[in-house]
Structure 1
C-alpha cells in the first residue's frame, strides 16, 4: 500500500520503547516525527505525509481489525468452555504484496505507542526479516539479539523480559533468506542461551522461549506455509480494499474533489482495473499515473489495463528487468549488492538511483548501514521481468529463454513461447508467476485463440482462472460477453468451453450476490470445464460435491464470510484423505454449514461434527 522508510529499524522501535518507560531516550520527538510521517511508493524529499491523514481501513478476513487480532471474537467465546479459554498467542497474517500488511503492523504499533489500544502489552518489538537476514550467520541469545536492534536494551535487567508482556512482530516472512526448521529438537528456553537466529525464532514461535508472550508474523501467502498450523492460533488475511474503501482512498489522497471523482469514474469503466485496485499499492500506482495524465491534459486514451498502466509508469530498463526475472523465479524480492552486480548493475552509478528509477527501485540502508535493494512493489518486479523476457524472445536470446523454460528454445514461435510460459506459470503451486505471465500476454496481444483453447489438464481450478485474466489483460472481452449473453438467454443448451467456464467462475466469484446453489451438473460442459467452475463455491450457499475437489470446498468453509450452508456428498464415497481435508473446513469457526448429506463409509467413524 505504502512505503515506510525503515519502519522496523532500531529508530522506530526505540520510540515505542521510550513511550513505554524503557531506559531514557533523548530523541523521542525525532523518532515520533519519523514514524508519524510516511511515504507512498517512493521516498523522495518532501513526499512524506501524516499516516493518520492517508490511512484507509482495510478488509481483514476473520472479521478482525488490526487492533484486536489477539482477542477472541464473541462467536469463539461461545464455542469455548469457561474453564478452557483458548489463548491466542501466535497470529499469522497473510496477504498478497501491497495488500497492506506492513501498514497494518505500523498502525497497530502507532496506536499502541499512543496509548489508545492494547495497553496490556508492555513492549512491542518490531523486527523485519530483511534485517534479520543480515545477521543470519551469527550466534545470538534473545537478549543480545534485542540489544543489536534496540540499543535501549543495553542497560535493561534480564529479569524484566520474564515479567513484562511482550509482543514480537516479525514482518515479511516472504523476505526471509533462511529456513525455519520446526521439526528440530534444538530449542531454547532461556533468554541468555546463544544459538542461531533460526533457532531463536522457532523457539519463540513454538513457545519454548517466553511462552506467555505474543508473536505476530506477516507473510505473502506463498511463504506462509513455513509456519506449521500447529504453531499458529489464528490466521488472518489482509485482503486489501473493498469497493467503498477504494473510493475512500482516492478521496483521501486528493484534496481536489473533481480530480478524485474523475479517477474513480475512470477505474469503474475497466472491470479488470477496478478489481485490481483492491490491492492498495495498485491504487497508488493508478492514482500516480492518472493524476499526471489528467493534470497535464495529455491526449490519448487513459489506460484501462494493468499493462497499459505500468507502461505509462515505467521505462524499459532491461538490466533491472534481468534482475527482476532471475529473482522472481527464485521467489526473492529483496536484493543485496552481489545480486545487482550479477545482473550487470553498477551500484556506484548514480543514474541507477536518480530520476524515474527512484520511483521503481529503491536503496534502503538498514542495520549496520549495509544496503538492501528492492522494487517499490512486487508487481513492478513482475512487470519488468515480463518486459525483459519479451525482449529476450524478440532478440532471440536463447540462453535466457532456456534457463527459464528449459529444453530447446530455438525457433520458437510467439504462440509456442507464450504457451510454454503459461504452462510454467500454471505448474507453480503458489502462483508466484501469475502476474508476470499476465503482463507478458499484455505485451504481446497476438495469441488470443491459442489461449482460449489451452489444455489445463492437471491444473487446479483456482490456477486456471489466470488464463481468463490474461485474456482480460489483452483487452479481449469476447469470452466475458459470451458468458453474459448465455446467462441472459433462456436457451442454455450451448456447451460451455473450458475458458468460458473460467470466465463464469470468475463472474460468480466476483458477484455481490451470493449464489443460492452451485450444481456443476446443470452446466453443459466437459469434465475439465466443470473443474474450472469450482472456485465459485466460495460465493454460494449450497454445493453438491461430485468431484474429488476437497481442498476447494474446505477453503470455502473456512472463508469469512462463509456462505456455504448445505453440502451434498451423497453421490460420492469419500477417501480418508477427503474426510481429513473436509474436516479441517468443518471444524473452522467460520463454518456455517447447516446440512451435510453423505453416504456412510468407514472413514467417517473417526469424525463427529456438531452441525
Structure 2
C-alpha cells in the first residue's frame, strides 16, 4: 500500500511488521524482470544453509523452482523435499510435523500457467500422496496443507492475488542491488573465473609434460610464473598471438 512503503532488509522479511507484532507467513517479492528476484531467493536459501540468515527462525528451508515444477504432471511434497537429503530415509514426517519452523521458497510462481481457480478451498492433502503439481502448490498457498508454514514467493506482477490464491500476503518490491553490492557480486564472480583459469593453466601444463613423457615437475610458485610457463610451452605461435588468445 502506498501509505505503508518503507525500506526493509532481507533479514527482516519474516520479522514483525511496522505497527504490528504479527509475523507475516507469506511474503511476495515482486519486481520487474531481471531485477534480481530469483537471485535473491537463491541467496536466502544459501545464507540459511550457511547459518547466516533465519537460523533461529526456521529449522528447514525448501526451494521450489516453479518453472521446473511445471514440467512435471504429478508429485508429492515428500518426494520433492527428499531431494535435499542424500539418505533416502529422510525423516519427512518429523520435519513436516513442525511446519511452523518451515519456509518454502516458491520462485517464479507467476510464470507457469497454473490452474488454481476452481479448486475447492476445503480440500486437504497428505504430504506423502501424489498430486497434480498445481493442486499441491494450491494447497500450500491456501494454507490447507501445512497452514503454519511460511512462504517466500517471487513474481513479476503485483496482481498475483487475482491469479493465485494467497492468504494475507506481505508485498515487498525488489529494488535491485546497490552499487556496493553489485561491485561485490562482480568481484565474487570474477574470483571464481580466475580460480577456474588458474586450474586450467595448471592442468594444461601438466598434460603437456605427460604427453611428452616428461617427469611432472611443474614448480611455479606464482600465477605470473605459471602464465610464463604456459606461454613457453606454446611455441607454434608468436608471443603476441599467445597473449591475445590468453586475454
TM-score, normalised by the number of residues in structure 2 = 0.63
CA distance in structure 2 between the partners assigned to 1:239 and 1:232 by the alignment: 22
Greater relative contact order, per chain length (Cα 8 Å cut-off, separation 6+): 2
Q: Is the 8 A contact 1:182 1:228 kept in 2?
A: no
CA distance in structure 1 between the partners assigned to 2:23 and 2:157 by the alignment: 24
Q: Does 1:63 align with 2:7?
A: yes
Q: Does 1:100 align with 2:36?
A: yes
CA distance in structure 2 between the partners assigned to 1:247 and 1:116 by the alignment: 20
CA distance in structure 2 between the partners assigned to 1:66 and 1:153 by the alignment: 31
Q: Is the 8 A contact 1:94 1:238 kept in 2?
A: yes
Shift in Å, 1:194:
3.3
CA distance in structure 2 between the partners assigned to 1:202 and 1:252 by the alignment: 35
Question: Which residue matches 1:111?
Answer: 47
Question: Which residue matches 1:123?
Answer: 60
Shift in Å, 1:250:
5.2
**1 or 2, which has the higher helix percentage?**
1
Question: Which of 16, 23, 27 matches 1:72?
Answer: 16
Shift in Å, 1:199:
1.3
> 1:447-477 CA distances to partner (integer Å, 9 max, x unpaired)?
xxxxxxxxxxxxxxxxxxxxxxxxxxxxxxx
Question: Which residue matches 1:155?
Answer: 89
Matches within 5 A, 1:29-428: 62-73=6-17, 75-77=18-20, 85-119=21-55, 120-135=57-72, 137-138=73-74, 140-147=75-82, 149-152=83-86, 154-157=88-91, 158-163=93-98, 165-181=101-117, 183-185=119-121, 187-221=123-157, 224-225=160-161, 226-228=163-165, 231-241=167-177, 245-246=178-179, 249=182, 253=186
CA distance in structure 1 between the partners assigned to 2:168 and 2:87 by the alignment: 28
Residues 161, 90 of structure 1: alpha-carbon distance in 2 compared, 3 angstrom cutoff: same
Shift in Å, 1:183:
4.9
Shift in Å, 1:210:
1.0
CA distance in structure 1 between the partners assigned to 2:6 and 2:142 by the alignment: 23
Q: Is the 8 A contact 1:93 1:236 kept in 2?
A: yes
CA distance in structure 2 between the partners assigned to 1:207 and 1:248 by the alignment: 35
Shift in Å, 1:159:
3.0
> 1:62-104 CA distances to partner (integer Å, 9 max, x unpaired)?
422222211113x323xxxxxxx53311111101111111121
CA distance in structure 2 between the partners assigned to 1:252 and 1:142 by the alignment: 33
SS at match of 1:67: helix
TM-score, normalised by the number of residues in structure 1 = 0.27
Q: Is the 8 A contact 1:62 1:236 kept in 2?
A: no
SS at match of 1:175: coil
CA distance in structure 2 between the partners assigned to 1:191 and 1:233 by the alignment: 23
In the alignment, structure 1 segments of 5+ residues that lack a partner are: 1-60, 78-84, 255-611
Shift in Å, 1:223:
6.6
SS at match of 1:168: strand
Q: Is the 8 A contact 1:126 1:170 kept in 2?
A: yes
Q: Is the 8 A contact 1:125 1:167 kept in 2?
A: yes
Question: Which residue matches 1:407?
Answer: none
Shift in Å, 1:204:
1.0
> 1:23-56 CA distances to partner (integer Å, 9 max, x unpaired)?
xxxxxxxxxxxxxxxxxxxxxxxxxxxxxxxxxx
CA distance in structure 1 between the partners assigned to 2:182 and 2:47 by the alignment: 20
CA distance in structure 1 between the partners assigned to 2:22 and 2:185 by the alignment: 39
Matches within 5 A, 1:449-598: none
SS at match of 2:148: coil
CA distance in structure 2 between the partners assigned to 1:91 and 1:182 by the alignment: 24
Shift in Å, 1:213:
1.2
In the alignment, structure 2 segments of 5+ residues that lack a partner are: 188-247
